Amino acid sequence: MTTQQLESFVATEQSSSSLSASSTSRRRAIRRRAYVLLTHVYMLPLAVVATFPLYWLVSTSLKFRGNVLRFPPQWFPNPLTIENYQRLFLTNPFERWYLNSVIIAVGATLGAVVSAILVAYGFARCRFVGREFWFSLVLATMMVPESVLIIPRFILMRALGWIDTWIPLILPAYLGGGAFNIFLLRQFMRTIPYELDEAAKIDGASGFVILWQLLVPNLKPAVAVVAVFTAIGNWNSFMAPLVYINTTEKLPVAVGIRMVLAGTQVGPQNTGAMMAGSTLITLPVVLIFAAAQKYFMRGIVMTGLSGR
């Protein structure tokens, strides 16, 4: 084989190899587009089903009372009206209930986040006798049903004179923040190299400085998960306020909205007002998730709560 023939053969081989690579790349691109298309086709009906209750809630709150329980149902409110919202605020201390829920949710969330960070730091970074035993005991409390604790807690709060106050709804959050929050932050904290703590100690940093200036900035995803779960849980809390609060003006909005129907027959007037109140209750939850979505989703993935 001459040099010219050899060069021609090499050029042919390179050209066929390039065409093969281009064809493979094209097939992969087609498969990727088909996968994305099928994913959207599959997820779109699920998204519609998931968001339909929210749409029905908002649309019903904007209907006239005669169209609320109409059959067949009116899918689009025509005409739009805010009479249900006006009736809600005129016949009930709804703004007071709303403010009560804000105070309770913010106070409990702040206490849960701070105290859970402190307890998780002790279990993750401090060495003491029986550490694993006490941590297992904390996890064991997650297996105790809340219904079992209602009566003992009520007896304790009554003995302390805290019935009909917000203290039973806020103070327990400052006593560790809950077993789930402690476990989540402790596991996340253990993924941060301990060498960072040792380097900070060599530089003269105390344990408090190491926690708040070194570890906490790296805990933002996990803290976001704890804060969102705690805030939503306290915002939607129904049983605890129902047990501890007796005065109507001190009720949170989740219990107060039930008062809209209390002692009356369920009808279009009360149903429309209840839908309006439920819409206003749902709004902060949506805003909280939208504001913390970046860190929340990152924390879900990094802490393994997504199930993967």
Summarised one tens digit per residue, pLDDT across range 58-101 is 888 888 877 777 777 778 887 788 888 888 888 788 889 989 99
pLDDT digits (tens, 9 = 90+) for 224-271: 888 888 998 899 888 889 899 988 888 898 888 877 666 444 444 577
The answer to whether 222 and 239 are in contact (CB under 8 A) is no
Mean pLDDT confidence for 154-175:
91
Closest by CA position to 219, among listed 113, 134, 131: 113
**Exposure on the CB side of residue 198, measured as CA atoms within 13 A:** 3
DSSP state string for 137-166:
HHHHGGGS-HHHHHHHHHHHHHHHT-TTSS
CA distance 111 to 92: 30
pLDDT in tens, 113-139: 999 999 998 898 888 888 889 999 998
Burial level of 162, CB count in 10 A (0-12/13-18/19+)? middle
Distance CA 221, CA 6 (A): 60
Q: How far apart are CA 176 and CA 230, in angstroms?
A: 13
Phi/psi for 21 (5° steps) reads: -65, -40
The pLDDT assigned to 262 comes to 60
Do 235 and 284 contact (CB within 8 A), yes or no?
yes
pTM: 0.77
Query: Which of 121, 115, 143 shows the shortest CA–CA distance to 187?
Result: 121
Residue 222 has pLDDT above 80, yes or no: yes
Percentage helix, strand, coil, to 5, in the chain? 80, 0, 20
Residue 35 half-sphere exposure, CB side, CA atoms within 13 Å? Answer: 6
* 200 secondary structure, DSSP code: H
Identify the pLDDT of residue 302. Answer: 58
Residue 108 has pLDDT above 90, yes or no: yes
Percent of the chain with pLDDT over 70: 84
Write out the H or E segment, with its range, that includes residue 288. Answer: helix 268-291
Task: Burial-class residue 230 by CB neighbours within 10 Å (0-12, 13-18, 19+).
Answer: buried
pLDDT at 68: 72
pLDDT over 80 (residue 56): yes
What's the pLDDT at 263? 46
- The mean predicted confidence, pLDDT, of the chain is 80
Rounded to the nearest 5 degrees, what angle is found at the Cα of 211, between the Cα atoms of 205 and 212? 95
pLDDT (average), residues 33-55: 83
